[in-house]
Chains A and B, each alone.
Chain A
Amino acid sequence: MNTKKLDTRRRKAVKVWDAFENNKKPIIILGAATCGRAAGAMDTWKAVEKVVKKLKVDADIVEVGCIGPCYLEPLMDVKMPGKPRVSYSNISPEKVERILKGFFKEDEIPSRDVLGHFGDEEIDGIPKFWDHPMLKPQVRLVLRNCGIIEPTNIDHYLACDGYKALEYTLSHKPVEIMQLVLDSGIRGRGGAGFPTGLKWRFCQDAPGDEKYMICNADEGDPGAFMNRSLIEGDPHALLEGLIIAAYAIGASKAYIYIRAEYPLAIKRLEKAIEQASKLGLIGKNILGSGFDLGITIKQGAGAFVCGEETALLQSIEGMRGMPRSRPPFPAQKGLFGKPTTINNVETLGTIPNIVRNGAAWYSGYGTEKSKGTKTFSLAGRVRRTGLIEVPMGMSLREIIFEIGGGLFKPFKAVQTGGPSGGCLSEEFLDTPIDYDNLAKAGSIMGSGGLIILDDNTCIVDLAKYFLNFTQSESCGKCVPCRVGTRHLYEILDRITKGDADTDDFEKLESLGQAIKGSALCGLGQTAPNPVLTTLKYFRNEYLAHVKDKRCPAAVCRELVTYRIIPDQCTGCQSCVKVCPTGAITGPRSEPHNLDEELCIKCRACYEICRFDAIAGDAIVITSGAESAEATTN
């Protein structure tokens, strides 16, 4: 296909999009990314099909990706002819009929469970969707299509300026495109923040006819899901960015290395590649330009270290995913020994925007040294969890308290950068978020996972969690990482068991610094960060574990006990029934007894006592002598 044929196709696509925007028959839109499905979107889908049939309405049901506020899922939107799209939240199957009846039979916009409408006009009693406090402060550039277009429909993408950046690219020299990206100031969104344009230039300048372009979609950081959401919601944006990057560096073969834990994202990509190939956007002589590119999907196999670029290369080649020392950098000697560029999903997804709108447009967002926007996955103990995109330089306070709506309990810390990052305390809330500020604070930007922690999170337990993760994911090649992270973990384990002394803090610090300075790859070099930052900013909590043998958050298993408060216990037997080990006994209407020897601390009794109407908060989880203070709920 040449550009002329693409123009014809685009005109058709615009018509398809117009039929979706100015629909003649009702459309019901369901957010069915992995998060929506986990919340029950497919059950809602079945209910929609049933109700539509029952009400004898001719309506289309369309699936879109995640629009962001995952905590409100499943989301169901209804778009009546001539009316704006209206979004409803937390739509379990039983709510579907009431809402659809309102639209179809009573000709009204039901206001119960409504989240907002997408129109420009004011509608009485229905807020505007984009005015929602979680959405209003956001700037959606890379996520512009997520939750809006149908990800499996290439016409939707084409109609929304899709592949225009590719057309522009192919009519320019590779070096011009590289310069454009360099001028935009975009830095790698995978975590390290290396300027993308520079990375491209190194590869462009490397001698050799055979070069490779790789998309790193091995989003391994636990607590991060930005890349999954982008691929599931707008797969063609990634493909377009990948093709542009391959053209710029002079590669004729590209790989997408994606983790096997994301089956839906893989399915979306496979479909998108098939569609783009059919249109001649991938393959031989793309759009008549003479440029060839083949794209292959490689599935990761559950090794975190393969997110490290040299390990990723080994994995694609069919080896154990073990990093090697650099130099030589992949730009000189990468996949199969050839010059290779590896970019993150969000970086590549942003490229079409930059090419279409220009470098100055992009660098108008963000801070002096960190340009553009960044997506973050907001999770943990924050009220509004989900996927967000904000300009670089926004403060953590705005992100957590305005977009995230704050916490239910007092704020303790925010964890950034996954296992390579750190925990930042309250004093950093007003820090403008960018690569350099986060590094200065001892953490890193990372790929964008933000886990919010409150009083019920034990900082030591969290540090132990991360070290357990890194030591089990360590590839074992270099000693500092293989042995060092194991020792860090073991010391932390002793602390959480009340089995350590303050000398251990020094050991953690010196060992941590030694690993940072000597490990072979990024995994090892950053593995001590969770320990070092928490030891620095939350030393009192470490001290409580060591000196008082007490876990202030009442989390560390060996330091907590489950107790029944006799005065509060109504003797309702709920806990007796749910206790899996028979640790709780006692006759009806009398305070029950809990045998600590039998208790496995599974929390079942605590849950039932708190949520069962008959029982009341009679079971507490406490730690240390001053147990009242340490009560958690």
Chain B
Amino acid sequence: MASNPLSSILENSSGSREDLIPVLQKVQAVEGFISKESVGLISRRLKISENEIHGVATFYAQFRFTPPGEHHILVCMGTACHVKGGAQLVITLEHELDAKTGETTEDGKFDLDQVACLGCCALAPVVKIDDKIYSQMSVLKLRQVLDEYKEA
């Protein structure tokens, strides 16, 4: 575990309760997920029990507790995306990746998740892979994009 960035995050926090969520966010940005070890470290720094930290972290959809895949796929589940066929995109991805939403593929290459809305409703349906948003997707376009990531 890369302890340096983590300890600098903790040192830079004011140590108050208010910092809990921002610290969790920074830890996840560096490590990709919230590990048991990091919860322990946060607990000692912020003086909040590990139980309590888990209680807060599991409340929010943003936090994950298992290592992420190499590529992070987010299917937008906003209303416009739903109306324009978002469900079919999920069916396609689950089938192509042989993984359910919330899971990581066996080879660790992709993890599949859903998001409430990315705010690109005018260009629905959209799928986000890592930092790139793909707009006006269709099942066939999505499969093409996915192939590019698979081959890369």
Contacts and interface: CB of A to CB of B under 8 A. Distances in A.
Interface string B43-76: 0000000000001100111110000000000000
Interface string A27-71: 000000011011110000000000000000000000000000011
B30 interface: no
A71 B96 contact: no
Contacts of A223: 78-80, 117, 121
Contacts of B62: 260, 301-302
Interface string A374-396: 00011111000111000000000
A288 interface: no
A379 B121 contact: yes
B128 to A, nearest CB: 9
A64 B21 CA distance: 32
A128 interface: no
Contacts of B83: 380-381, 451, 453, 457, 462
A35 B122 contact: yes
Interface in A260-281: 260-263
B119 A262 contact: yes
Contacts of B138: 607
Contact of A378 (B79, B92, B122): B122
Interface magnitude class on chain B: 35 or more
B82 A465 contact: yes
Contacts, number: 174
Interface stretch (B2-10, B12-20, B102-110): B12-20
Nearest to A475: B59
Interface string A435-466: 00000000000000101010001000010011
Contacts of A262: 119
B152 interface: no
Given A228-B119, A321-B59, A580 B96 contact: yes
A38 B79 contact: no
Contact of A302 (B116, B139, B140): B116
B79 to A, nearest CB: 3
Interface string B111-152: 000011111111110100001011110111001000000000
Find the residue from A415, A581, A602, A608 having the highest chain B CB count within 10 A.
Answer: A602
A9 interface: no
A39 B135 contact: yes
Contacts of A603: 85, 88, 91-92, 139
Contacts of B95: 580-581, 600, 602
Given A38-B133, A302-B61, A602-B88, A222 B117 contact: yes
A317 interface: yes
B79 A219 contact: no
A206 to B, nearest CB: 22
B77 interface: yes
B56 A318 contact: yes
A154 interface: no
Nearest to B134: A38
- Among B82, B85, B133, B138, chain A packs the most CB atoms within 10 A around the CB of B82
B140 A449 contact: no
A318 B88 contact: no
A453 B83 CA distance: 8
Contacts of B40: none
B79 A451 contact: yes
B25 interface: yes
Interface residues of A, number: 67
A600 B88 CA distance: 10
A302 B59 CA distance: 9
Contacts of A607: 138-140
A379 B80 contact: yes
Contacts of B82: 222, 462, 465
B56 A320 contact: yes
Contact of A71 (B19, B61, B122): B122
B72 to A, nearest CB: 13
Contacts of A222: 77-82, 116-117
Contacts of B120: 34-35, 38, 70, 225
Contact of A35 (B17, B116, B123, B140): B123
Nearest to A70: B122
Contacts of A611: 140
Contact of A70 (B61, B78, B123): B123
B59 A449 contact: no
B96 A38 contact: no
Given A71-B123, A260-B25, A298-B22, A604 B92 contact: yes
A504 B55 CA distance: 36
Contacts of B134: 38
A34 B133 contact: yes
B100 interface: no
Nearest to A71: B122
A578 interface: yes
A220 B139 CA distance: 26
Interface string B15-43: 01111111011000000000000000000
Interface in A311-330: 315-322
A377 B122 contact: yes
A315 B57 CA distance: 11
Nearest to B143: A604
A545 B121 CA distance: 28
Contact of B91 (A301, A320, A602): A602
Interface in A529-567: 557
A73 B123 contact: yes
B60 A380 contact: no
A163 interface: no
Contact of B61 (A37, A303, A378): A303
Nearest to A378: B122
Contact of B20 (A225, A318, A377, A475): A318
A40 B133 CA distance: 9
A299 B26 CA distance: 11
Contact of B92 (A469, A475, A580): A580
Contact of A301 (B60, B117, B143): B60
A602 B62 CA distance: 28
A260 B136 CA distance: 23
Given A38-B123, A581-B95, 18 more contacts: A34-B133, A39-B123, A70-B123, A219-B119, A260-B25, A261-B117, A261-B118, A299-B22, A299-B25, A301-B61, A302-B115, A318-B20, A379-B122, A380-B83, A451-B80, A462-B79, A600-B91, A608-B140
Counting from the closest, the 4 A-B pairs by CB-CB distance are: A70-B122, A223-B79, A302-B61, A301-B60
16 contacts: A35-B122, A38-B120, A223-B117, A224-B119, A301-B24, A301-B61, A318-B16, A320-B59, A449-B79, A465-B79, A580-B92, A581-B95, A602-B91, A603-B85, A603-B88, A603-B139
Interface of B: 16-22, 24-25, 55-56, 59-63, 77-85, 87-88, 91-92, 95-96, 115-124, 126, 131, 133-136, 138-140, 143
